Amino acid sequence: MEGAALFRFILQASVALALAAIASLLLLFVRRLVIMRIDRANAERRRELEEMVYGALEDPAALTSGRLGARDQRLLLAVVSEMLRGVDGEMRDQLKAILALHIDLDRLMGDLRNAIPADRAKIAFRLFWSDSPAVHDALRAALDDSEPEVVLAAANALLATGQSISLLALVPKLESRSMLGNRAVRDLFRRLAPDNASALFTFLDDPNPAVVVLAIDALARAPSSPALRRLRAAAQTHLAVDVRAAAIRSLGLAQDQQAAGVITAALSDPAWEVRAQAAIAAGRIGDAGALSQLKKRVGDANWWVRLRAAQALAKLGAEGIAALEALAGDEQLNQLVDFVLSERGA
């Protein structure tokens, strides 16, 4: 009748949906079977290679067997590079000798350029032990890779080989791949800081707040008085909330007594992120001058600021504790205060 087309459509759509779902699940099943097969075979071969490596460590004469196939080379690199992360000294040299004998570095460097992204990152990640200038060049080239993961792996591997990297050159690459929020990038900055002090100062004026934040964090790891001066300025005047918060946090971590005034002022910053960090910092440097401001902050509109302010008071000695205990009578605040006091007791 009139609805016949509609009814048929519903029937067909239902059957099509069900069949499509079943077909895709079957495909996923097959995919999983294949992955499992490969994984199992690789794991088995890996174990054999591991035995071979341990055999060679016992008896270096056993090292003379010929070149391995491509898959075996990859697996061997995986096994030995993991061992190299844990061990140093004489055994490290032995392990490197094993790799030198069995791994075709030229091919590996080719793969570093041409393999699929996940493999490129893995290879870069596993080349950290090499002393070969050719490998270092290949890793440097990988800093231009289109995949962020490869760039990071290459940068870390280069660092581990003791090569210097210019942050000035690296940052635009990380920036263009929007990786600046990545935790691994922060660690990279920290590790590169000693060689790149002047670059870090340059970055303090970068238009991108994320770069400034990374520079502040790295500078604060080894605070110098010019660095602290810049941080104090940034904490007061920078337009970006994250930058002000990071600067305040770093001043607290550096226990910069000269920053006490800046930190107290930041307790009234319009952004709660900055106020919370200021409260933490005030507690860290133990500035009794911040007491009255902190008391005010325990009544802040933002929960985090309230918590951090109460915790900071608990660190300011008898006077701070007394202030906290006085606040405990407040119906709104007693839970928070109780919590902070019990935390202190624990």
List residues near another protein by CB under 8 A: 1, 3-4, 6-8, 10-11, 14-15, 17-22, 24-26, 28-29, 32-33, 36, 50, 54, 57-59, 79, 82-92, 181-183, 213, 242, 245-246, 273, 276-277, 302-304, 307, 334-336, 338-339, 342-343, 346
Kindly tell me the burial class for residue 180, based on how many C-beta atoms sit within 10 Å of its own C-beta (0-12, 13-18, 19 or more): middle
Name residue, tokens 């401001």: 293
Identify whether the C-beta of residue 308 lies closer than 8 Å to the C-beta of residue 276: yes
Which residue number, 58 or 270, has a Cβ lying nearer to another protein? 58
CB of 113 to another protein, least distance (A): 25
CB of 253 to another protein, least distance (A): 10
Which residue number, 108 or 246, has a Cβ lying nearer to another protein? 246
Beta carbons within 8 Å of 64's beta carbon, 6+ residues apart: none
- Three-point CA angle 115, 121, 124, nearest 5°: 100
- For the record, the structure tokens of 241 come out as 């909330």
CB of 249 to another protein, least distance (A): 9
Which residue number, 156 or 277, has a Cβ lying nearer to another protein? 277
Identify whether the C-beta of residue 266 lies closer than 8 Å to the C-beta of residue 234: no
CB of 203 to another protein, least distance (A): 16
d(CA 273, CA 278): 9
Which residue number, 11 or 97, has a Cβ lying nearer to another protein? 11
Which residue number, 89 or 133, has a Cβ lying nearer to another protein? 89
d(CA 269, CA 278): 9
Which residue number, 319 or 338, has a Cβ lying nearer to another protein? 338
Provide the b/e sequence for 138-173 (b: ≥16 CB within 10 Å).
Answer: bbeebbebebbbbbbbbbbbbbbbeeebebeebbee
CB of 137 to another protein, least distance (A): 25
CB of 209 to another protein, least distance (A): 10
Identify whether the C-beta of residue 143 lies closer than 8 Å to the C-beta of residue 173: yes
